[in-house]
Copies of this chain bind each other. A is one copy, B any other.
Amino acid sequence: MPQLRKDPILDCWVIIAAERGHRPSDFRVESDPPMASRGCPFCYENEDKTPPEIYAVRPANTQPNKPGWLVRVVPNRYPALTIEGDLNRQGLGMFDLMNGVGAHEIIIESPDHHLNLCEALPEQIEHIVRAYIARVEDLRRDKRLRHIIVFRNYGRAAGASLAHPHSQLIATAIVPRLPKEKLEAARLHYQRKERCIFCDLIRQEQALGERVVLETQHFIVLSPFASRFPFELVIFPLRHSHDFVNLQPEEIADLARVLKEALWRLKVALDNPPYNYMIHTAPSTHPRPGRPEYWGTLALDYHWHIEICPRLTRVAGFEWGTGFYINPVAPEEATRFLREVG
């Protein structure tokens, strides 16, 4: 019989309809055709096709906006939000609106147009993680910005429009709906129990074992109990930490290996599937006295994490209309497959 499962953090139910009996091979989606690198704005010698870089990992003997870099961060040429201007919050009858102020940046992850991130050297992934941290730290100085998310769209079905390996970052002047719910759930749990809800979840999953894909000194990779999507994964740091930017050097090295390994296993099990990953960390913390709902106080009760969602199934009317997901693969089953390919 199908099972209904509730996410322990969000008020979100999922239908695990595993009777449909899918195996990983049922989900093999057609790979994108390899895209030519000619004219790619993220390749060497094309640095002038992007706005000027705002961060780069490059040897001391190289010039900004010239080849030689290992990782390069630039503003998105077609940003969803713009960095200049006031918020200009307004009401229009029943409606609320404000200017689309924020940052939209591209983290170009390698000069190699054809690199698959799960085959990168761990040192390269460390550079990328350090670039994420550097950009988040810099943007947090802007008091208008309250929330920053780093994410990666891989493959056309996951929303990537350019094949060259890259991630993105979007900083917004509001804390969006899903992060807000997660923050609120973590705060409520802490107020009741003086414990982190994510730490509790990790301990329970370690004890049960059946959804643990991988565990290292500093990280654990789980298939969430109420996975919305087949082969969804989440990476948690084992040490309680509300904020991604507090990663210590040895943790960065371990995260690079864990991220590579998780992506590599998805590649092998699912034949290089499209996916999105999203880094969830506590929002910016400019003090706003008396306004804790704006997360103007440190969300120390939060626990940062990375969600990885392969895009194997299509979201349809039921999901859009209800926020309720149908997942044809039990997370315990997904865990077994991903352990086997390890």
Contacts and interface: CB of A to CB of B under 8 A. Distances in A.
Interface of A: 1-6, 8, 10-13, 15-17, 20, 78-82, 85, 93-101, 147, 149, 151-153, 156-160, 168, 170, 172-174, 176-180, 197, 200-201, 204, 208, 225-226, 276-278, 280, 307, 309, 314-318, 320-324, 326
Given A8-B94, A95-B6, A278-B320, A16 B100 contact: yes
A203 to B, nearest CB: 9
Contacts of A197: 94
B4 A168 contact: no
Contact of A321 (B11, B16, B280): B280
7 contacts: A2-B81, A8-B96, A15-B100, A276-B316, A276-B321, A307-B321, A309-B320
Contacts of A225: 95
Given A94-B201, A200-B94, A321-B278, A17 B177 contact: no
Given A94-B204, A316-B153, A316-B158, A321 B4 contact: no
Residue with the greatest number of chain B CB neighbours at <10 A, chosen from A11, A85, A324:
A324
A315 B317 contact: no
Contact of A15 (B80, B178, B201, B307): B80
A154 to B, nearest CB: 9
A269 to B, nearest CB: 20
Contact of A13 (B20, B157, B177, B315): B177
Contact of A153 (B12, B82, B151, B317): B317
